[in-house]
Structure 1
Amino acid sequence: MNPTAEDRVPVLVVGGSLVGLSASLFLGRLGVRHLLVEKHADTSRHPRGRGNNVRTMELFRVAGAEARIREAASVLADNHGILQARSLTGDDQEWLFKEIDPGGGLARISPSAWCLCSQNDLEPVLVRCAREHGGDLRFSTELSSFEQDAHGVRATLRNRETGEVTTVHADYLIAADGPRSPVRERLGIGQTGPGDLFHNVSITFRAPQLADVVGDRRFIACYLTDPEADGALLPVDNKADWVFHAPWHPESGETLEDFTDERCIEHIRRATGVPGMAVEITGKAPWHAAERVAERYAAGRVFLAGDSAHEMSPTGAFGSNTGIQDAHNIAWKLAAVLNGSAGPELLATYEAERQPVARETSARASARSAEHSHPGYSPAPGAGGGRQRGVLTVALGYCYPQGAVVGADPGLPVVPDQLRLTGEPGTRAPHMWVRAGGERRSTLDLYETSFVLLTGSEGEMWRTAAKGAIQQFSLALDCYQVGTGPNDDLVPEDGVDWAEKHGTTSEGAVLVRPDGFVAWRAEGRVADPEAALRQVLTALLCRS
């Protein structure tokens, strides 16, 4: 779409970093026309934000981007674990954990795995994928102002290269414009939480000699703890290019100008334990760790996502992943409202579901920074929990006790102590491998553009109910019978009992949302499946 004096678009996305680009990809996959604007001229050039957790990779898998992302991340494919050491050359060294997935147990619950892909490598992949699915992405374009009414959002955009001003009329706006979000400020939405935690300067540098010192220790990050030169060392290519996060104390009057090349070089040499090592500084970028969550995630037709909605300590890489999952949640809901299958009240469930997740996750991220003694962080006494406690439950096991779900236990913890993916409403649907027409698929691959109703070989009545719901609600709803019978659509591998795995019986059914979360479950036979499904969908879709 070429720039014009007046544009009309269903969704305007403000911010073209990881979260905004992910929103563009997800919206495009759902057939939602949209415009994304980003004030910077290009994607990030600084290697940061590299940890993509298993849930995020599941979303990228379903969106058709996982293979490309893993290719872009191939140089770090063999890096695992977090090392803590006084220096790289001394004896005082300890692995905080050595493997992300020790024993390979993750394969039993997900078709995907963690992926180390730095932001500067990931964002170009997302740009290409988003544009392939119709995303109109305009860099060097900033949001100058906006106003909204009951019918939509009117935004003024300015091209920072040409000065050209464009007016865009959008039905909805997603603000993925970062922790200092001008959109959030304009809406007057406050934040809660402890606030700033610590500050670092991220230093990129070249030091070919360092590869010999590191040897075969293929870590994700190494926390170097020399009191005179602490920091975090991260590999970029395991050879010559590296990143060092040095503590920065602006509260004590320290400025960015104090981080001269000479100071940074000496700091890196001492921290690594390699005096005289040849170091070439190639870049510096400040960053701030904080724990804050927006008091509201929406105001009228404007929705906050990513850092505009929540800030988290970087330990565990929860922040960017939570933001990408925000984008996935709001995308399917906007699509449902825009195509008329859902009432606008569905959009209120975005905050109801995602804000509690952010609160719990940000607290866990701060606790992990304390557990790992992250350089520059001086937590309150007693902060932090048991080592590695709840990492997978935060990444994959978060729940929606309330929102667009029916029958969820309101007492269900948002982040449980133990991972339970057993088909309960409000949880991510279980993964299992099935065969469909000779093709091997994960059940998670079914969940993207439609609701999905799973039932067993004896569930023909549910298929009939689904057909009725499609006609009544004008809804994209796919129904699959799972089993080994001649009329079954999906055949489980390895004799897995789909009903047992989903907490139901062969005569029951499980309704899964487009984002892969269980919306409702019938644990056994019901007297009138069509009436039951109709009642559930009326509630889920906010239809009168």
Structure 2
Amino acid sequence: MNPTVEDRVPVLIVGGSLVGLSASLFLGRLGVRHLLVEKHADTSRHPRGRGNNVRTMELYRVAGAEQPIREAASVLAANHGILQAPSLTGEEQEWLFKEIDPGGGLARFSPSAWCLCSQNDLEPVLVRCAREHGGALRFSTELVSFEQDAQGVTAVLRNRETGERSTVQADYLIAADGPRSPVRERLGIGQTGPGDLFHNVSITFRAPALADVVGDRHFIACYLTNPEADGALLPVDNRAEWVFHAPWHPDQGETLEDFTDERCIDHIRRATGALDLDVEITGKAPWHAAERVAERYAAGRVFLAGDSAHEMSPTGAFGSNTGIQDAHNLAWKLAAVLSGSAGPDLLATYEAERQPVARETSARASARSAEHSHPGYVPAPGAGGGRQRGVLTVALGYCYPQGAVVGADPELPVVPEQLRLTGEPGTRAPHMWLRAGGERRSTLDLYERSFVLLSGSDGDMWRTAAKGAVQRFAVALDCYLIGTEPDDDLAPEEGVDWAERHGTTPEGAVLVRPDGFVAWRAEGRVADPEAALAQVFASLLGRD
């Protein structure tokens, strides 16, 4: 029997975990019709992947999802830092770091903050938000096969509950199908990097009395270093529900079946130092830490995102965040090409921008695991181990020296030594607070559905140039004059100079992409703003 043929969709997303669901939300916000398929029957039930960095929360803020995510994460809102100790009951205790944002300095750079929300709590929020914005999500549905040609991708899907097959035709396919990505394998895309780093078994358990042992040490994770029973302890609700990551050594012949309930209970008791602790094992799931990056991020009309494109050590929670940011980068570019405002060459910049970020970030994640002596991780001799500075530069300060940017310094490091958010092309646009009609908003709130051109009170020539660009390229472009004059659109907070903050002069302008990265900057007055802006858009959009 031939599978039924459904209506064509512009984008098919394969994989309904954090990255796939985020891609659905971002595409839906941009008005791009799409279908997401996920082979599992529901979202993740196992607590994992809990660290959402400030850049990810900025993206969710603009997409309208930050508040419901923080509500879902409220039970762990008071948890900070990583503790390292031989046990919870001994005197020897060391905070690897005690506060995520000591002194509250992050507020200078962002309107958002880090958020500790486990994947099992975050994914249902993303499902609701994605569906609210038109996302068609099908669980218990797997990709059987796909073919592509110059016109699009034809995919065969199977409902795992009924066995029914259907065919979907899409312009583009996003593979967010995990580290063992069948799509990546089907495309024959290889991977580079050290490979497997270590293996753990994640054990969920109930132990109400453990809260008394932990006391007021409300950590994100505690690395327990007893050589006879090491591992990582993570709170789920700070009361009765917990997770323990126990090292697993399959290379030594150890199997998952070896992790019996009795062994897990004994291991948890010895690791915590609470030898009489009443423990009820509620679940077990293996996971593998690796450092790998795909050799290519795309093949024709198929794009890799998240773990299918890169794997990273879990220390620092860089992996899921990098994947979510992949999806955001790709979403606006797909929307621009599908709308006809950009040529297909824009999509080539996805790999040019995101692959270097993954390579640099995955190396930093492994180094962080060495620094923190992550249980189960034995780095190669001479690798890592030193104090890693500038974690915020990895999370927020990564740059695009090449890609859909004009005037970026090609020598700009992908992850700088110091956080530089000063309006340089290829960097995340600076955050500053603005007021309009009594409403306070961040500059970052302006960037989502269009390019944005910022200029000063005397920027009428830039406003005229923006109108010309819209007419010529049919591109979504908003122009804002920032200042204190009656005709200005937005007013900065007292004492803040928008031009200085963006590295330009009052006569200059800054063009920001829909994803909040600076696309181009005019540091001062130009002879012909309309011609200059037209040339920039022709380059950015791959248009004549």
Q: Please name the residue that 1:376 is paired with.
A: 376
Aligned to 2:212: 212
- Is 1:322 aligned with 2:300? no
Asked if 1 retains the 8 angstrom alpha-carbon contact of 2:313 and 2:365, the reply is yes
Distance in 2, Cα, partners of 1:231 & 1:459: 59
Structure 1 equivalent of residue 413 of structure 2: 413
Q: Tell me the residue number matched to 2:482.
A: 482
Deviation at 1:385, TM superposition (A): 5.3
CA distance in 1, matches of 2:483, 2:387: 41
Give the aligned partner of residue 362 of structure 1.
362
Q: Take 2:308 and 2:183, find their aligned partners in 1: how far apart are those partners?
A: 8
- Counterpart CA distance in 1 for 2:319 and 2:228 is 29
Deviation at 1:437, TM superposition (A): 1.5
3-state SS of 1:7 partner: coil
Return the alpha-carbon distance in structure 2 between the equivalents of residues 290 and 258 of structure 1: 22
Q: Give me the whole-angstrom Cα distance separating, in 1, the residues matched to 2:394 and 2:469.
A: 34
Q: Does 1:70 align with 2:70?
A: yes
SS at match of 2:227: coil
The CA distance in 2 between the partners of 1:388 and 1:433, in whole Å, is 31
In 2, Cα distance between equivalents of 1:472 and 1:4: 42
* TM-score after normalising by structure 1: 0.99
State the distance in 2 between where 1:385 and 1:102 align. Answer: 23
What is the rounded CA distance, in whole Å, between the counterparts of 1:149 and 1:177 in structure 2? 21
Classify the secondary structure of the residue corresponding to 2:203: strand
- Partners of 1:446 and 1:332 in 2: how far apart? 14
Deviations 1:437-466 (Å, cap 9, x if unpaired)?
111000000000000000001111000000
Letter in 1 for 2:287: W
Query: 2:249 is matched with which residue?
Result: 249
Quick one: distance in 1 between partners of 2:250 and 2:7? 43
On the 8 A contact 1:508/1:523 being kept in 2, the answer is yes
- Distance in 2, matches of 1:18 and 1:311, equals 14
Q: Which residue in the other structure is 2:454 paired with? A: 454
Give a deviation string over 1:389-436, Cα, whole Å, max 9, x none.
Answer: 120000000000000000000000000010000000000000000001
> Contact 1:189/1:295 (CA < 8 Å) preserved in 2?
yes
SS at match of 1:349: helix
- For 1:528-539, list aligned pairs within 5 A: 528-539=528-539
Structure 1: state its 5+ residue gaps: none
Cα separation, 2, equivalents of 1:429 and 1:34:
29
Equivalence for 1:439: 439
How many equivalent pairs are there? 542
**What is the CA–CA distance in structure 2 between the aligned matches of 1:45 and 1:7, rounded to whole Å?**
32
Q: What amino acid sits opposite 1:110 in the alignment?
A: S
Deviation at 1:381, TM superposition (A): 2.0
Partner AA of 1:228 in structure 2: E
1:457, 1:438 → 2: CA distance?
A: 19
**For 1:168, what is the secondary structure of its paired residue?**
strand
Q: Determine if contact 1:393/1:415 at 8 Å carries over to the other structure.
A: yes
Q: Distance in 1 between matches of 2:153 and 2:191?
A: 23
Give the Å deviation of 1:503: 0.2
* Distance of 1:29 and 1:259 partners within structure 2: 44
- Give the alignment of 1:118-197 within 5 angstroms: 118-197=118-197
Q: Give the CA RMSD over aligned residues.
A: 0.8
Where does 1:15-30 land on structure 2 (aligned, <5 Å)? 15-30=15-30
1:470-501 Cα deviation digits (max 9, x unpaired): 11111110000001111111100132000000
User: Which residue identity is paired with 2:363?
Assistant: A
- Counterpart residue identity of residue 108, structure 2: R
User: 1:7·1:167 contact (CA, 8 Å) conserved in 2?
Assistant: no
How far apart in 2 are the matches of 1:5 and 1:512?
A: 40
1:333 paired to 2:333: yes
Tell me the amino acid that sits aligned with residue 301 of structure 2.
R
Quick check: 1:268 aligned with 2:264? no
Give the match for residue 509 of structure 2.
509
Q: Aligned equivalents of 1:489 and 1:226: distance in 2?
A: 60
Between the two proteins, what is the percent identity of the paired residues?
89
SS at match of 2:7: strand
Cα-to-partner distance string for 1:305-334 (whole Å, 9 max, x where unaligned): 000000000000000000000000000000
CA-CA distance at 1:384 after TM superposition: 1.8
Instruction: Return the offset for 1:386.
Output: 3.9
**Does residue 346 in structure 1 map to residue 346 in structure 2?**
yes
Secondary structure of 2:8's counterpart equals strand
Q: Do the aligned residues in 1 keep the contact of 2:454 with 2:481 (CA within 8 Å)?
A: yes
The answer to whether residue 304 in structure 2 is matched with residue 304 in structure 1 is yes
Pair 1:281-2:281 in alignment:
yes
Q: CA deviation at 1:388?
A: 4.1
Aligned to 2:471: 471
Q: Distance in 1 between matches of 2:265 and 2:74?
A: 28
CA contact (8 A) 2:28 2:134 kept: yes
Check whether the contact 1:50–1:117 (CA below 8 A) recurs between aligned residues: yes
Q: Deviations over 1:337-374 (max 9, x none)?
A: 00000000100000000000000000000000000000
Residues 175 and 304 in structure 2, CA contact (< 8 A), matched pair in contact too: yes
Q: Distance in 1 between matches of 2:443 and 2:248?
A: 46
CA distance in 2, matches of 1:543, 1:476: 15
Question: Quick check: 2:451–2:514 contact (8 Å CA) kept in 1?
Answer: yes
Shift of 1:54: 0.2
Residue 380 of structure 1, CA deviation: 1.2
User: Could you say which residue in structure 2 is the equivalent of 1:226?
Assistant: 226
Report whether the alignment pairs 1:524 with 2:512: no
Aligned partner of 1:396 in structure 2 is 396
Match of 2:198?
198
CA contact (8 A) 2:146 2:154 kept: yes
Residues of 2 paired with 1:150 and 1:507: CA distance? 45
| Letter matched to residue 206 of structure 1 | R
- Determine the C-alpha separation between the residues in 1 that align with 2:257 and 2:324: 34
Contact 1:7–1:166 at 8 Å: present in 2 too? no
1:168-192 CA distances to partner (integer Å, 9 max, x unpaired)? 0000000000000000000000000
8 Å CA contact 1:5, 1:165 repeated in 2: no
Counterpart-to-counterpart distance in 1, 2:456 and 2:4: 53
State the distance in 2 between where 1:411 and 1:385 align.
Answer: 27
Partner of 2:46: 46
Q: Quick one: distance in 2 between partners of 1:301 and 1:191?
A: 19
CA-CA distance at 1:103 after TM superposition:
0.3
Q: Tell me the secondary structure at the aligned position of residue 96 of structure 1.
A: strand
Distance 1:289 1:221 in 2: 17
**Which residues of structure 2 form unaligned runs of 5+?**
none
Q: How much has 1:387 moved relative to structure 2?
A: 2.5
Amino acid at match of 1:236: V
- Compute the displacement of 1:4 (Å): 5.7
d(CA) in 2 for partners of 1:284, 1:375: 17
Using the alignment, how far apart are the partners of 1:71 and 1:9 within structure 2? Answer: 33
SS of aligned partner of 1:343: coil
Amino acid at match of 2:358: A
Q: Do the aligned residues in 1 keep the contact of 2:4 with 2:165 (CA within 8 Å)?
A: no
Q: C-alpha separation between the residues in 2 aligned to 1:142 and 1:200?
A: 27
Aligned partners of 1:37 and 1:112: how far apart in 2?
Answer: 31
Q: Distance in 2 between matches of 1:378 and 1:297?
A: 29
